[in-house]
Amino acid sequence: MNLAMVGITVLWTFLYGYLLIASIDFGAGFFSCYSMLTGKDHIINRIIDRYLSPVWEVTNVFLIFFIVGLVGFFPETAYYYGTALLIPGSVALILLTIRGSFYAFANYGARKSKFYLLLYGLTGLFIPASLSTVLTISEGGFIEKTGDRLLFRADLLFTSHYSWSVVFLALVSILYISASFLTFYADRANDLQARELLRKYALFWSGPTILASLWVFWELSRHNPEHFSRALSVGWMFVTSFFCFCIGVCLMWKRKNLGIAFIFVMFQFACAFFGYGISHLPYLLYPFITIHTALTNTTMGMALVIAFIAGLLLLIPSIGLLLWLFLFNAGYVRGKK
């Protein structure tokens, strides 16, 4: 594998990590808010609180990691995306900021504030929507280049069917991933009431997730046929993804092995996400940037890979410790300690 491929694989894997843990977080915000409006907050809020409080900062780092890494490996992307994304990027940043601060304030009363809880729930939907526009933009057609000047066509983005299909897919997947995970977590905590409610949410959102995926494919075939044909050539990945989905839903339906059910949800999204990523290559931004034209200086690329490996050696045991303390520790999950 050449350097560019190593770089993009590393980054894509991190983005996948962010997709998973951020989905849990964003979905939890929505469920928190929704259950407050329907008067069921006492059932699930404790579970959500217990899991999310120690890890929210780590979630945030995954995103920063991806962005810093992307600009690092492919500095050219900074110029194009940086110029084009001023407005959507700033909006996402402001929402992330509000949400991040919520966790700090939550322990000291913000969770009791209806206004803040509403913001928390809404940002959980708006952040993924604004972040997913980046994927849409990467398909090309929304940036015009005249001479030295880049023009971002927000109007085209807003009226594009493809754009809306991606946003819709992002939203329903988030709710699906989040509910599946929290069902598992509530089950570990022996909190049957919360488990049942969350299981209902998970099953409810499973259907729209698959429908939205089909819709995105359909729109992609019209928006960027070149990409679509490459996607067909790795079609087996999407088929595998669908099988994983079926197994996950089946287990969830039978209330058996909820942990394994969530692992299948992870596989489902891994297959689809990497299938999408592979077929996107070699373009980082169609048709302006490919991974080859944008690659940083070789010295820097190698150094980044080395730093990355060294960093992982440090991070994996630390994350292991965090999971052991807060996720797989039955005492903590049940709220004894």
Partner 1 sequence: MDSVLWSRILTAETLAFHIVWATIGVGVPIFICLAEGWGIWRKDPHFILLARRWTRGFVITVAIGVVTGTCIGLMLSLLWPKFMQLAGNVISLPLFMETFAFFFEAIFLGTYLYTWDRFQKPVYHWLTSIPIIIGSSMSAVFITTVNSFMNTPAGFKLSASGRVSHIDLIAAMLNPSTPSEVGHVLSSAYATCGFLLAAIAAWHLLKGKTHVYYKKALHLTMAISFILSLLTFVAGDLSGKFLATWQPAKLAAGEWHFDTRTNAPLVIGGILDEKNLEVKYGLEIPSALSFLATGSIDGKVTGLKEIPRSEWPPLFIHYLFDAMVGIGFYLIFISAAYLAYWLSKKEIIQSRWLLRGIVLAAPLAFLAIEFGWIYAEVGRQPWIITGLMRVDQAATTADNVGMVTLMFSLLYLLLAIVAISVLSRLFRGRPAETELHAVEGRSRT
> Which chain residues interact with partner 1 by CB under 8 A?
53-55, 57-58, 60-61, 63-65, 67-69, 71-73, 75-76, 78-87, 89-91, 93-94, 96-98, 100-101, 103-105, 107-110, 148-150, 152, 296-297, 299-300, 303-304, 307-308, 311, 314-315, 318-319, 321-322, 325-326, 332, 337
Give helix 75-84 / helix 56-73 axis angle, nearest 10°: 110
DSSP 191: -
Asked whether 244 and 213 are in contact (CB, 8 A), the reply is: no
Rounded to the nearest whole angstrom, what is the least distance from the CB of residue 284 to partner 1 in the complex? 13
Rounded to the nearest whole angstrom, what is the least distance from the CB of residue 174 to partner 1 in the complex? 20
Q: Which two tokens stand for residue 153?
A: 């066509």
Asked whether 76 and 289 are in contact (CB, 8 A), the reply is: yes
CB atoms within 10 A of CB 229: 11
Q: Which two tokens stand for residue 18?
A: 């962010």
Residue indicated by tokens 């909190």? 191
Residue indicated by tokens 């609180």? 49
Rounded to the nearest whole angstrom, what is the least distance from the CB of residue 119 to partner 1 in the complex? 11
In the complex with partner 1, which residue's Cβ is closer, 66 or 245?
A: 66
**Residues in the chain, overall count:** 337
In the complex with partner 1, which residue's Cβ is closer, 138 or 268?
A: 138
Rounded to the nearest whole angstrom, what is the least distance from the CB of residue 22 to partner 1 in the complex? 13
Residue in 282, 141, 158 with CA at minimum distance from that of residue 223: 141
In the complex with partner 1, which residue's Cβ is closer, 105 or 242?
A: 105
Backbone angles phi, psi at 143, to 5 degrees: -120, 130
Rounded to the nearest whole angstrom, what is the least distance from the CB of residue 327 to partner 1 in the complex? 12
Rounded to the nearest whole angstrom, what is the least distance from the CB of residue 272 to partner 1 in the complex? 26
In the complex with partner 1, which residue's Cβ is closer, 79 or 238?
A: 79
In the complex with partner 1, which residue's Cβ is closer, 2 or 107?
A: 107
Asked whether 211 and 242 are in contact (CB, 8 A), the reply is: no
In the complex with partner 1, which residue's Cβ is closer, 66 or 168?
A: 66
